[in-house]
A and B are shown apart, each in its own frame.
Chain A
Amino acid sequence: MTQSANMFNTRLPRRRLVAGLFAGMFLAITLIGVAVLAILIVSVAGEGWSSLSVKFLTNPPSRLWPENAGLNSALFGTLWLTGITIVVSIPVGVGGAVYLEEFARDNRLTRLIRINIANLAGVPSVVYGILGLAVFVRWLNFDRSVLSGGLTLSLLVLPVVIIASREALAGVPPSIRHAAYALGATKWQTVRAHVLPAALPGIITGVILALSRAVGETAPLIMLGGLTFCTAVPDGPLSDFTAMPIQIYNWLDEPQPEFHHLAAAGIIVMLGLLLSMNALAIGIRAWKQRRRLS
């Protein structure tokens, strides 16, 4: 009798205790990410809050008077870059995704394109900078213009846009396509009138997240022609430019602490922009999920 009791001694209380301890540890580990985000935001805010003012948004940067320096030209440079990235990467990216998801036959070329896109998404951003330098700045002679910058960022985010759009398209139920075909619609009519509208919230979410990546990219822009100090707002696609991350790097590079406060203030503005883009993307996704449930 005692022997069989020993045989079934599963030491359950002790195992439950260990499991409980580990549950707490896993929770603590998960909260590390949250804690780091909080520390990061607090340290940036503490450093930069005092430099933040309306003047900071409307004045151009200055090397001599940190108290008068602002982010104006960088803010507009970033808006120009984002605009060019939107114009180039959305049509090409969504078009490519529609081809791969709706039109392509499963052959060797299609598989090659798919593998290629997955690998392009993993190419370091500084390599895209080298590509932009050789193709847009030198070969096409766009110089170090906001156009070169925007095109480089477009290439950089293109794989992200394609992957996100493909996921959104794949999530559209086949029954919608079958219903359209049954009424005699062509493939393109089906895609344009039914599949794309149904996939739109997912595509928009992916595009916003891709653009928020473009807003924060520094290395590819530096590769195009160094750290330019530019106080003018771009007045055309071929004009010189600066962007928020470039200006932040510029200020971080200065030895005086006043400039580090400016860098932190610049980071607050940039993070504010990125967080609102993220919030928009998360909001659209939540709205889509609720609509699907109802």
Chain B
Amino acid sequence: MIHGGLFLCAVFSVFTTVGIIWILASESFTFFAEVSPFSFLFGTRWAPLLEPRSYGILPLICGTFLVASGALLLAVPIGVGSALFLSEYAPPWFRSVIKPILEILAGIPTIVYGFFALMFITPVVIKPLFPDANTFNAASAAVVVGVMIIPTIASLCDDAFQAVPRTLREAAYAVSATRLEVSTRVVLPAGLSGVTAAVLLAFARAIGETMAVTLAAGLTPKLTANPLESIQTMTAYIVQVSLGDTPAGTIEYQTIFAVGLVLFLITLSINVLAQRVLARFRSAYE
């Protein structure tokens, strides 16, 4: 009896996944009955709420990747550098101070980062450097999302470096390698698949990030690579529709399920890839 109850608890998570896939797929189905999947996936104009309507998702995907890759550009060097310092250089007391601070940074709600982007990053950092930047811009969103994923990268990379066997380090120190050479030529290459998995997981988080990009990046779907312009991400679009007064059941409303499906599939495939890489890393050292 107890065994069965506990089993149900564990299987509950599978129901959740099935529920997500079922709802996204069935609701998108009514959308794709009216809009062809081809024009949805390859259309270059996204204007489901304005006449003439157009349902090409590429501008939203472009905005999402602009913010997420900007975030990685900032967070990967800082995250990996911090992890190397914590794992190879820092004394134990320093680790025990920094690790909780990183945890706090990871626990700050995304709406607070949205506030930070709007009230600090854009007016104090971006505007003075680039006076022609829009009030809502992809760059400020990328900066705060980058800050948000630094702890993810730092703590997963730190785990990866800690798993590298001591003997490898000792062999390098024995032939008079400096600490830097041990870090960058022994520990980093040995932990590389762990670092890859960390970056992939952080990338998926950046893609799914919602409130900070809704507040900071704007609501104008645009196919651009210029981070100083106002853009829109997939997540921000979904929030915009549910904030507005679009009646449920209309084709405009169904777009949130189609966009949600694309978002889910992109983050899922990145996560699955990350788990694969992580599993291979674990089997190499554990």
Which residues of A come within 8 Å of B, CB atoms? 10, 12, 15-16, 18-19, 22-23, 25-27, 29-30, 32-34, 36-37, 39-40, 43-44, 47, 91-93, 95-100, 103-104, 112-113, 115-120, 122-131, 133-135, 155, 158-159, 162, 188, 209, 212-213, 215-219, 222-223, 225-227, 245, 248-249, 252, 260, 263-264, 267, 270-271, 274-275, 278, 282
Q: Report the bound CA distance from A217 to B146 in whole Å.
A: 18
DSSP class of A's interface residues: helix, strand, loop or mixed?
Answer: helix
Q: B176 contacts which chain A residues (CB < 8 A)? A: 10, 12
The CA-CA distance from A123 to B264 in the complex, in Å, is 7
How large, as a class, is the contact surface on chain B? 35 or more
Q: Do residues B7 and A103 form an inter-chain contact, with CB atoms below 8 A?
A: yes
Of chain A, the residue at the smallest CB distance from B238 is A126
16 other contacts beyond A96-B9, A124-B264, A130-B257, with CB at 8 A cut-off? Answer: A22-B180, A26-B85, A30-B86, A32-B78, A33-B105, A39-B120, A98-B6, A99-B10, A126-B239, A158-B16, A219-B214, A227-B243, A245-B109, A245-B111, A267-B111, A274-B109
Q: Which B residues form the contact surface with A (CB < 8 A)?
A: 2-3, 5-14, 16-17, 19-20, 23-24, 27, 77-78, 81-82, 84-86, 89-90, 98, 100-105, 107-112, 114-116, 118-120, 147, 150-151, 154, 176, 178-181, 201, 204-205, 207-211, 214-215, 235, 238-239, 242-244, 256-257, 260, 263-264, 267-268, 270-272, 274-275
Q: Cβ of B6 and Cβ of A122 under 8 Å apart?
A: no
Closest to A133 in B: B242
CB of B178 within 8 A of CB of A270, answer: no
B239 and A103 within 8 A (CB): no
Expressed in whole angstroms, the Cα–Cα distance for A96 and B112 within the complex equals 32
- The 3 A-B pairs of least Cβ separation, nearest first, read A216-B109, A124-B208, A95-B9
CB–CB B115/A248 < 8 A: yes
B19, B178, B210, B260: the one within 8 Å of A19 (CB): B178
Assess whether A134 is in contact with B81, with CB atoms less than 8 Å apart.
no
Q: When the two chains form their complex, are residues A104 and B10 in contact, meaning their CB atoms are under 8 A apart? A: yes
CA distance A223 to B7 in the complex (A): 31
* Residues of chain B within 8 A of A162, CB atoms compared: 10, 13
A122 to B275, CA, bound (A): 11
B268 contact set on A, CB distance < 8 A: 119, 122-123
Instruction: Tell whether, in the assembled complex, residue A126 and residue B103 are in contact, meaning their CB atoms are under 8 Å apart.
Output: no
Q: Is there an interface contact between A26 and B89, defined as CB atoms closer than 8 Å? A: yes
**Docked-complex contact A33 and B263, CB < 8 angstroms:** no
Q: Which residue of B lies closest to A274 (CB)?
A: B107
Instruction: Check if A216 sits within 8 Å of B104, measured CB to CB.
Output: no
